[in-house]
Structure formats: C-alpha cells, structure tokens
Structure 1
C-alpha cells in the first residue's frame, strides 16, 4: 500500500514542481551551514488552500521571521486530501532547511489510522507547534440554551434531538463531539460540513441547534453567536465570561493544533535553529496580541519536547479513534 500511494503522488509532484521551484523537489541536499542559516528565503508550504487558519498564521509569522533572520518566508499552497497531498510529499523535498511545511493535529495522527494517506505520523519531522484553536460549543445569540447545562438537559430529555454542525469527520470538531457525548453521557446528532465556514452558515441559518467550532469562530461572528463553553485550560482573554469545560466538570481541552515540519533528512542543527526562530516569534508581544485578538491560544512546543507532545496527543486521539470506529 505505501508504495502504491507514493507512486500515485508522483504525477502531482511533477505538476507542482514549477509552482514551488525546482529546489523543493531536488532531493537530498548537503546540509546548510547552521551557523549562517538562513542566508536566503525559506519556502513555507501550506497543505491547504489560501484563507484558512493555517494560512492566516503563516502570514502573521512572515513579518517577524524577516525581522529575526533578514530573510523572507515565501508562502506556497499544496491543497488536497485534507493536507495529505502535501504531507505525503514532504520527504521528497530538499532537506537543506529551506523548505518547511505546516502540519495540523489531529489530522496527521488520525488520517494514517483509518487508511493509507501516503504518509505515516512518524515520517513527519515536526519541529515546532505554536498555537491551537480551542474547540467551543457555540449557539446563536437567541438560542434557548443559555448554558451548557441547558443543552445537556435537552439532549438527555430527547437523545439525538440536539443537532450540532461541525467541520468534517475525523476532525477536531468530530473528536470534540465524541468526547463531549462520552463525558456528559448524552447523544447528539453531529452533522459534518465541508469546513468551518459552512458549519457556521448552518448554525446561523437555523439548520442546526448548535455548532462545534473554535474560539476563532466566535471572534469572527461575535455579534451573532455565543459560546457555552471552551476547551482550553484557562478562559480565553477575548471571552472572559465564557467558562471552560473543565470549570464545568468535563475534562476537555483541545482543538485544532498547528505546527511546522521539515523533510526527514534535514540536519538536527538546522531543525533546532528553526525551532528556536519560531519560538522567538511566538514570544513576541505584538505577535501574541495579534493572534489572541483572532481567538487563537498560543502554545510553545519546541523540537526538544516534540516527542512527548506527540505521544500525549496520539494516546488521546487513539482512544477517540476507537470510539469512532476508525480503528478496532
């Protein structure tokens, strides 16, 4: 199966080579001098289309990367397969430190569990995770559910009657709904849509009674929606009146996590230097304020802590994957 999947991606590699530049697919390269790195622009591939939260994050990082290094982040897109098209080709790209790619959780863990997407989680050399969009249970401003307890009471009274929209299956939203049902001992009807935008439209159009979205969703539609609870460790500064699930007695934290990886052959020295650069960006007060204003929650997982971080997340997602029937 692995060979077949890789073979199928070769045609696409040829097509996008012109867009990304020949160097991205030049194969193994001599490791760049870590001391002088970077001495030219770095290609930042987003494995989704433009305009999404991964793209927004990268655009905001550009300014601070240039301030720190004197070089630019050149953003390119390789959309398809919910990120799988890009991730399946990352290790075919030049491993000189001048090609990096965005990665997302739970995507890079769940996708290889269900079928062969052309990559395994272990093949992706993640060097930094910088933020997440916390899951949030969202209703319209005029919803009869004023609190999380109100929604739970309705779901218990008539199992399946509370319809909830979300962004796709095997997504952060889908996982959040599965965990919530288990912890609250309720049954809802989860309806997957193609993206967060469509899920919000369904909520605003009264097609569903609630939505599994993110704090970023609430920030973008603050005049029309409100959150019943948010899956973060602490209350979000944009929404000081919205309780966390933990406060309400449900051990739920998580959402859509975003980070960056390099091809496997990239030297440890350059991988570490990249991690340090993005950690510095994350600590910039101006950058942090911009991200928080958009509803993101910043985290700082450097290369040295990546194995432990991924192991913890993998354990959580594996449990949910069994409940969802992705694995036995």
Structure 2
C-alpha cells in the first residue's frame, strides 16, 4: 500500500511523490482483462465475420477468463464500425473484426471514410474466403463465357457486400478486364447480399466461399477467385482457368484502437492465434468453406502494407484514384 506523508515543505513532498510513483509502477497489462470485452462486428448478423466471432466467443472467454460481448455496427461496407473502433479507448476492452481489402480500399477512395488504414491496429488475421461469381441454379448460363457473352449484350446486375470491398473490387476488375458494362448492387453485409440475390433482385452475385458452399444447391457457380482449385468446391474452375486474370478474396482478422499497449496486443494475439491454430477449429472452417489463416500482429501489418501497395496500383489502373 502506498503511504502518503504530509511534510512541511513542497520540495520534500515532490521527492516523495516521485519516489512513490516509481515504487508503484507496473505493467498496464498486469490485470488485463479485468472487465467484459466488447467484440464489435462492422457488419450485420449472419455474415462471415459474425460466424467466426461466434465460434471464437466461448474459447476467448475461457482463455481470457472474462465475458465477451459481440455487438454489431453495420453501415458503409464496414466503415461505420471501423470509425467507431479508432475512436475507442486503447485499453483492450474494445476489439473489432477487420476485413481486407475493405480497410485499405475505403480510405484510399473516399474523403469521408471516418478512419485511416494506419489507425487500424491489427492483432491477428485468422480467416480467408475466396470470392466466386454465381448465377441462379436454374439459369441458362453454364460457364463464365456464357455470362460474359450475355453481359456484353445486356446490362447485368450483380449483388455484393459493401462498396470498395472485396466484392466491389472483384466486380470492377471483371468489368475492366472483360470490357463489359454491369451494375453493382451493394448490401450492408454478405448475408443481406445473398438474400438479395436469392430473392431474385439481381442477375448474379459475387459471394464468399462459405456462402458458395452453403448455398451450392441454389447457386450455379461459374468461377472462383482462388489461385488454385478451392478444396471445398473442387469442380468449380478458377477465373484464371477460365482465361480471366483475376484473383479475389477477403481476409478477416481482429484489430484494436490505435495506441493500444503492446503487451495487451500480445495477450490478444496469443489468444486468437491459439484458437486459429486449433485443429478442430480449422477442420470446422474448412468444412464450412473458409480458409484457415494464422498471422500474428507483425505478419498482419506486413500483409496490409503489401496489399496497400498492390491495391493502389489496381485502383489507378481502374481509374478510381489518380
């Protein structure tokens, strides 16, 4: 217990105060976590970020010995949630799902995003989902060539999650590479995008790999954006195999507010990576159509930096930025 001594001179008080501070100093992470952690999802319920957070929730609570409260802050393709993230206290009690390329593309293309890529402090990346193009199961289009031929003669509408997201980028790249005019119909999240498509509101959809797996009886999948044959959908060709130089994927992880203490980040990083490397978790992810990933904070930052350079070149080629 720190004792306070009342002395007669200001000098003595100052000396004792300094000494007392030095004696009681300790790591800010000594008692972390000491309250409920809010795990914010910047999209609506039911999407990939939510599915993974729900899988992680009981494991996080067990390993961190605290409650974890999952909340949703949807809007503007995730930008509303990431704007909230960068304004929160850097005490480790508020964490947020993060999506790549969203957190790179949005600040790069918009003046009023509300956050900068550099403000997103990555903890780990734990999941990937290649993006595929699908049409209704009863469509007369059988191949990507069929789709592109039809798109060259009439304006096709494509459902996707958010603007300046992985889906939006795939749409822009396909339109540019194949010189076809299409219309992109954004939704607030992947779950809404799928329902929009299943409701007959669009001709096609750019969807995440796990949605392609879950709805494969309702979708006719024309191509997928993985670099190689996707394990969960072995009969689906890649865009490259169909003659289109396109890869497309969304990577997901978790982030904390800027200036969060490194020791707190380390605790969270260790916990998320322990979950990500769990064989049973990985098996579940593969069965559901996800790609398991396990990048630590440093690797995640290097990956974000690498993708930032890559996407800047892509957006310049597409005429989205100067």
TM interval, short-chain normalised: 0.7 to 0.9
Q: Which residue of 1 aligns with 2:271?
A: 277
Whether the 8 Å CA contact 1:54–1:102 is kept in 2: the answer is yes
1:262 corresponds in structure 2 to 256
Structure 1 78/32 Cα, relative in aligned 2: closer, same or farther at 3 Å?
farther
Q: How many residues align?
A: 295
- For the 8 Å contact 1:132–1:298, the answer to whether it is kept is yes
Compare CA radii of gyration and give the structure with the larger one.
2
CA 188–135 in structure 1, closer or farther in 2 if over 3 Å, else same: farther
2:304 equivalent to 1:319: no
Structure 1 residue 65 displacement after superposition: 1.9
Q: Which residue of 1 aligns with 2:122?
A: 126
Question: Is 1:140 matched up with 2:136?
Answer: yes
SS of residue in 1 equivalent to 2:81: helix
- State whether residues 98 and 255 of structure 2, in contact with CA within 8 Å, keep that contact through their aligned partners in structure 1: yes
Matched, 1:293 2:287: yes
Aligned to 2:165: 171
Counterpart for residue 185 of structure 2? 192
Partner SS, residue 138 of structure 2: coil
The unaligned stretches of length 5 or more in structure 2 are: 1-25
Choose the corresponding residue for 2:224, options 216, 222, 230: 230
In terms of mean alpha carbon deviation, does 106-115 or 83-92 score higher?
83-92
The offset of 1:210, in angstroms, is: 2.2
The counterpart of 1:83, out of the listed 78, 81, 88, is: 78
State how far apart, in whole Å, the 1-side matches of 2:278 and 2:37 are: 20
The one of 69, 72, 75 equivalent to 2:67 is 72
TM-score, reference length from structure 1? 0.79
Residue 133 of structure 1, CA deviation: 2.4
Are 1:54 and 2:49 matched, yes or no? yes
> Conserved in 2, the CA contact under 8 Å of 1:131 and 1:299?
yes
Question: Counterparts in 2 of 1:301-316, with a 5 A limit?
Answer: 301-316=295-310
Offset of residue 190 of structure 1: 2.3
Measure the CA separation in 2 of the matches of 1:148 and 1:118.
37
1:5 maps to none
Q: Secondary structure at the match of 1:101?
A: strand
**Match of residue 203 from structure 2:** 209
| 1:64/1:260 CA distance change after superposition, 3 Å | same
Query: Aligned partners of 1:319 and 1:107: how far apart in 2?
Result: 16
- Shift of residue 272 of structure 1? 2.4
C-alpha change, 1:200 and 1:56, in structure 2 (3 Å) is closer
TM-score (norm 2): 0.80
